[in-house]
Amino acid sequence: MSIGPSRSVQVTVRPDTYNDPLLLAHGAPTAVTRASNLLLFGDDGWFAGVDLPGGRGEYTVNASILRPFEEEAITGNMLRAASEDYPEDAATRYTDVPEGAIGPDARVLLAALLEASPSADPYDLAVTMQAYLSSDRFRYTTDLTGVECDDPSAVECFARTRQGYCLHYASTMAILLRAANPDNPIPTRLVQGFLPGDRSGATETVRNKGAHAWVEVYFPDYGWIPFDPTGGGVVRP
């Protein structure tokens, strides 16, 4: 079923070697058939996740999935035209740039990204960063043996060495997007989940090795839109 820019899905999850108690869902969960604990963050009790106590076991979950870039759903032009008047909660929680996160190499990288973008619009900046970071200017590798960087900032180290895996790419993009417009920072967050698995009929097998990290950018009236700077393709939380 499709409702505006989102659609509802229902999936049955059968964990095998996945031992984390966190709920697995294709998108934002709305209902689950097992007893669950809602995980909240901060004094205001913001949604952080869902925990399933009692060990592994099959369950069915309903979830709402945004439909970015599908025909008659969310398009690039719609996001480009979206307001930049961010709600206070998103601006407060998802725009901070920690002290020391951006060093000299990260500043050079940010300047190159700003120059490459056709405009300062958040959508144009996100698309530009996604394409730039997934280009051959950077090397995707999970083996960082021998890659030396004495800076405590993962963003600065990635900008300096230009090597890393999905977590480094996504962390860098998230922080640089937040820093791209100091006068009105873009709410951006790092998300971890899994890449699509192997599908056979109505069954999809998702393996632990498919764990992945990507970026979500907040657009008023549309919500959190995913971008993947490693070029991994469609991502699913």
Active-site residue set: 166, 212, 228
Question: What is the rounded distance in angstroms from the CA atom of residue 236 to the CA atom of residue 65?
Answer: 9
Structural tokens at position 157: 């180290």
Residue with tokens 């109505």: 202
* DSSP state, residue 209: G
The residue count for the chain: 237
Angle at 197 between CA 130 and CA 40, to 5 degrees: 70
Report CA-CA distances (Å) from 139 to 82, 85, 144, 173, 229: 33, 36, 11, 15, 12
State the amino acid at position 226 in one-letter form: P
